[in-house]
Amino acid sequence: MIQCRSAERIRAPAIVRLGQDRAPSMRNFDETTITEAVLGRLTGASDPRIMEISAALVRHLHAFVSEVRPTVAEWQAGIAFLTETGRMCSDTRQEFVLLSDTLGVSMLVDAINHSTRGTTESTVLGPFYVEGAPTMFNGDDISAGLAGEPLIVTGSVRGGDGAPVAGALVDVWHSDGGGFYDVQQLDRAGGLAMRARLVTGVDGGFRFWTIKPAAYPVPHDGPVGRMLQKQGRHPWRPAHVHFMIQAAGYAQLITHIFAEGDPYLNSDVVFGVKDSLIRPFVAMAAGAAPDGSDRSSGFFHLHYDFALERDPECRQADLKVAAR
């Protein structure tokens, strides 16, 4: 008997027994008691935020399962779906971001965290952002020689008061005229293309040449694509250019500028379109371009003036790229 009590102490240390004692029931859980039992196991969490998030996750996940009442086969299919979503992720593809985007969760997080008080509206980051894009000079061509319709993008970065923000880091990326990003065609692009980091001048301005992007379907050859198909949804996004803008003393801005007139503006698969972010890609005849160059053939022009929100904590952005 003494030996048995000793073994029991080893298997169940005091701290574990304490947590279990707080639960309304130690065993024999059923549909009516399992949720409270799991919540009771969370009382040992040392971080209040971890406790809050964990408890909400358990409550809502259990409520979801109670509402859906899945068969065991359906539950296993759900586990297999999430497993495949994880396996689909790589350095150049983020299936979980895609899942979050297409379920509207990314835009919900964005809406919770960003106000629209007189500054440029934000939208989703999307799955094609790549850290470490090449640094370019204002006026450079960022297309890396890919074929397409020439496009010049001009704009400025200002504070909410309209004052120009010099030295802001402007990270841009977009698809080609076929709707493909560089990372989806590295053999053709020969590396990173249609993406760059530029720095605004003393007037807050920036400009670059590239090729005109097109509407594109998000990658739909994986689990998220099958989900969309079964939900009766198309996978398309309207044509756009991505921007991530950082400047000391201002909140980081992640947004897109969408092409006016695109047929998918009202049904963007990731719910990212806002009216204030739509601008025309203006067709221009051969001749003088907005950057002062002389063009021998026609081109398109996109312009946008961004307004940054002051960072309430005046956090210094990590700007390691020298102003150019």
- Per CB under 5 A, residues contacting Fe ion are 126
* Of residues 250 and 281, the one with the C-beta less far from Fe ion: 281
Amino acid in position 230: K
Q: At closest approach, how far in Å is the CB of 79 from Fe ion?
A: 30
* Of residues 269 and 289, the one with the C-beta less far from Fe ion: 269
* Of residues 167 and 235, the one with the C-beta less far from Fe ion: 235
Amino acid in position 129: Y
Coil, strand, or helix at residue 305?
strand
Distance CA 225, CA 117 (A): 36
Q: At closest approach, how far in Å is the CB of 218 from Fe ion?
A: 8
Question: Which two tokens mark 323?
Answer: 């102003």
Of all residues in the shown chain, the one whose CB is closest to Fe ion is 126
* Of residues 167 and 213, the one with the C-beta less far from Fe ion: 213
Q: At closest approach, how far in Å is the CB of 241 from Fe ion?
A: 8
Residue 253's Cβ-count burial label (10 Å; 0-12, 13-18, 19+) is buried
Q: At closest approach, how far in Å is the CB of 240 from Fe ion?
A: 6
Query: In which order are the strands placed within the sheet that holds 282-284?
Result: 205-211, 150-159, 299-308, 282-284
Distance CA 126, CA 128 (A): 6
* Of residues 81 and 236, the one with the C-beta less far from Fe ion: 236
Q: At closest approach, how far in Å is the CB of 45 from Fe ion?
A: 38
Distance CA 109, CA 51 (A): 20
